[in-house]
Amino acid sequence: TIQVEVFKVPITVNAPEGKTIELMVDPTAPLADLKRQLESESGIPVTNQNLTKEGEALDNENKKLEDYEVKAGTGIDLEPKI
């Protein structure tokens, strides 16, 4: 069998109420995967998450994280939708 090692990078998510969430993510994974991780860490449902990176909305769940230039050390802001 062929074993493929997934390359993960650390990112920081700034959540509501000053909470910071540190995650290891695969840059080739879709945004939907990150949103699922954040739901379990923050308690904010996937459908209620607004994610931004340096003011740019991360809103296409099928787009890969690397397409949004998410790499080691990237900071993402998480806000609940109102």
- Report how far apart, in Å, the C-alpha atoms of 17 and of each of 6, 51, 67 are: 32, 15, 28
Return the pLDDT at 82. 79
Q: What digits encode the pLDDT tens for the residues 16-32?
A: 999 999 999 999 999 99
Q: What digits encode the pLDDT tens for the residues 43-62?
A: 999 999 999 999 999 999 99
Is pLDDT above 90 for 35? yes
Return the pLDDT at 22. 97
Q: Which residues of 58-71 are buried (b: 16+ CB within 10 A; e: fewer)?
A: beeeeeebeebebe
Is pLDDT above 70 for 38? yes
